[in-house]
Structure 1
Amino acid sequence: MSKAHYEAEIKNSQEVQKAKDLCSITVGGKEIPNMPPEMQLKVLHSALFTFDLIESVLARVEELIEIKTKSTSEENTGIK
């Protein structure tokens, strides 16, 4: 799944919410059980938050790998 998918689901859910009280959402081919639209929006926003968190952690890990690689390279060449 991607952030764009969840953002589209949120937009769709908000539009459907205007039309009726209960709605269903399918994520990854599986339907989320019927629940109030407010709860579905909370679940979808939580998924987006999780994606943002994962992206932040990944960016930091890549930074640390780059620092470690640069440090190792400098040690091997004697450059500091």
Structure 2
Amino acid sequence: MQKAVSGPADPAFLAGLCEVQPWVRQWHDDFDPLYDGNPADVYEGFLTQTRARLHLSGDDLTTWRPPKHTRTHGDA
């Protein structure tokens, strides 16, 4: 799942959103006029749609880790 993507389709962003979604649900599960709905539902819907569009499973996101940085000759 290591894709060079930035923005809302960035795997790091999606993995982070997946990780905090239970707390978003816990603390923002009521109607909010700013979202014209329930923020937890809004973020969960975004996550579900984006995962489907990118063909990612929940396991893809929960097991995602950033690529390891490897030293090159010029790194200090």
Specify if TM > 0.5.
no
With the length of structure 2 as denominator, give the TM-score of the two structures. Answer: 0.40
Determine which structure has more spread, i.e. the larger CA radius of gyration. Answer: 1
Greater RCO (Cα-Cα under 8 Å, separation 6 or more): 2
Higher helix share: 1
With the length of structure 1 as denominator, give the TM-score of the two structures. Answer: 0.39
Higher strand share: 1
